[in-house]
Amino acid sequence: MALGSDTQGTAPRPSFWNDPNKRSIIYQGIVVLIFVGLAAYFVNNTADNLEQRGIASGLSFLSAPAGFDVGMSPFLTYDASTATHGTVLIVGILNTLLVAITGIVLATIIGFIFGVLRLSPNWIVSKLCYWYIEILRNIPLLLQLLFWYFAVLGTLPSKRDSISLFDLFFLNIEGMFGPLPVPQDGFWMIGLGLVIAIAAIIVIKNWARKRQDETGQIFPVFWTSLALLIIIPFIAAAIAGFPLEFEHPQKNRFGLRGGMIILPEFAALVLGLSLYTSAFIAEIVRSGILAVSHGQSEAAYALGLRPGLTMRLVVIPQALRVIVPPLTSQYLNLTKNSSLAVAIGGAEIVAIFAGTSLNQAGQAIEIIAITMAFYLTVSLLISLFMNWYNNKIALVER
């Protein structure tokens, strides 16, 4: 505090009650006392309650058998007869991450498209985008999820007469079925090809930049990279004898089995989340682009840059600085909103762990605490990553 009295020897010492330092210590002491008192009160009550209701505490329930089916477990074989609550937790976490990542990617793509189209000089397109944004972001997400799940996906045909696309994809009330790629022996060759391609691209990019610095000639890096990215893995696959087979869904008496399946709960959740968030992202992108002053693109044109290059080298890097911080909070929102799967019977952490497991094991405190800790960790990780990205693109000032 600048008011500190020791800096000026002549100033009179304030009385004990008016000394800001002493006051602050007293206030903080009181707050700590209240805080500790409340915490002790809650802990004490909780212990009493748990004892009265005969609920054991601790994390041992994680290894107790769960005995229910989770519906969806793409990364882990889940067997209802042997699974424990710990398995349920892991499946829940993986599914949440899958929903969040798919949702974030889709929402970003849709949001950027609508944000750019919203600024289109075309009156009809711009108005359409305006109404898309205003309708989607002013209707509660839960309502949208219920709508997609019950009113749209719920009207798909029964499993007897599923809609078929080229006899490869089937769509019915149980989900969307498609061929599942199954890697065979020698699949690693394709991976190796991919790694070689990426290494080659990095080398070419550095070489092209160096050459442009020295001679001013521009090398078509993008198209070369694309070609390399396709050709090298393809050659590798040809050498290994195309080590990839597809498992097609088979029709039997109970409907379709095997292959890749996208459950309607997952589809409704991803669709609802990404459309809802895309409306917010579109507004963020629009304001980000508008925040770049018109003079910037005019100056770029005056220097002779083509419109594509102007956009890529001048407008977008500046717009990103405005876009990234609010975009981060939208990503966080999307991740947290994936918990709404509980309302449509999805299979992510809140639905199966904080829902079904909690009902079965009854250990509310541990389960809710673990769920909250998971979300806090994810929030923190996304924030850290986006802060790093934000720092990377931030304006470097002298």
Partner 1 sequence: MTDNSFVRTESHPDLPPPVRHTGIIRWMRQNLFSSWFNTFLTISSLYLLYRIVPPFLEWAIFSADLSGSTYQDCTSGGACWAMVRVRFDQFMYGFFPTTERWRVDIGFLLLFATAIPLMIDGIPGKKYLAIFVFAIYPFVAFLLFHGGFGLEIVDTAQWGGLMLTLVLATVTIVVSLPLGILFALGRRSEMPIIRMICIGFIELWRGVPLITVLFMGSVMLPLFLPPGTNFDKILRTLIVMALFAAAYMAEVVRGGLQAIPKGQYEAAQAMGLSYWKTMGLIILPQALKIVIPGIVNTFIALFKDTTLVLVIGLLDFLSIIQSATTHKNWLGTSTEGYVFAAAVYWIFCFSMSRYSIRLERKLDTGHRN
Residues that bind partner 1 (CB under 8 A): 1, 3, 24, 27-28, 31-32, 35, 42, 45-46, 48-50, 52, 120-125, 128, 134-135, 138-144, 146-147, 150-151, 154, 336-340, 342-343, 350, 354, 358, 364-365, 368, 371-372, 375-376, 379-380
Query: Which of 238, 376 has the CB closer to partner 1?
Result: 376
Nearest distance in Å: CB 117, partner 1: 8
3-class DSSP string for the chain? CCCCHHHCCCCCCCCHHHCHHHHHHHHHHHHHHHHHHHHHHHHHHHHHHHHHHCCCCCCHHHHCECCCCCCCCCCCCCCCCCCEHHHHHHHHHHHHHHHHHHHHHHHHHHHHHHHHHHCCCCHHHHHHHHHHHHHHHCCCHHHHHHHHHHHHHHHCCCCCCCEEECCCEEEECCEEEECEEEECCCCHHHHHHHHHHHHHHHHHHHHHHHHHHHHCCCCCHHHHHHHHHHHHHHHHHHHHCCCEEEECCEEECCEEECCEEECHHHHHHHHHHHHHHHHHHHHHHHHHHHHCCHHHHHHHHHCCCCHHHHHHHHHHHHHHHHHHHHHHHHHHHHHHHHHHHHHHCCCCHHHHHHHHHHHHHCCHHHHHHHHHHHHHHHHHHHHHHHHHHHHHHCCCCC
Query: Which of 106, 358 has the CB closer to partner 1?
Result: 358
Query: Which of 91, 340 has the CB closer to partner 1?
Result: 340
Nearest distance in Å: CB 230, partner 1: 27
Query: Which of 170, 374 has the CB closer to partner 1?
Result: 374
φ/ψ (deg, to 5) at 350: -65, -40
Query: Which of 198, 342 has the CB closer to partner 1?
Result: 342
Nearest distance in Å: CB 284, partner 1: 13
Nearest distance in Å: CB 161, partner 1: 19
Nearest distance in Å: CB 60, partner 1: 19
Dihedral, 68, 73, 79, 84 alpha carbons, nearest 10: -60
Query: Which of 51, 245 has the CB closer to partner 1?
Result: 51
φ/ψ (deg, to 5) at 397: -100, 155
Query: Which of 117, 204 has the CB closer to partner 1?
Result: 117
Nearest distance in Å: CB 116, partner 1: 12
Query: Which of 239, 380 has the CB closer to partner 1?
Result: 380
Nearest distance in Å: CB 270, partner 1: 17
Nearest distance in Å: CB 398, partner 1: 20
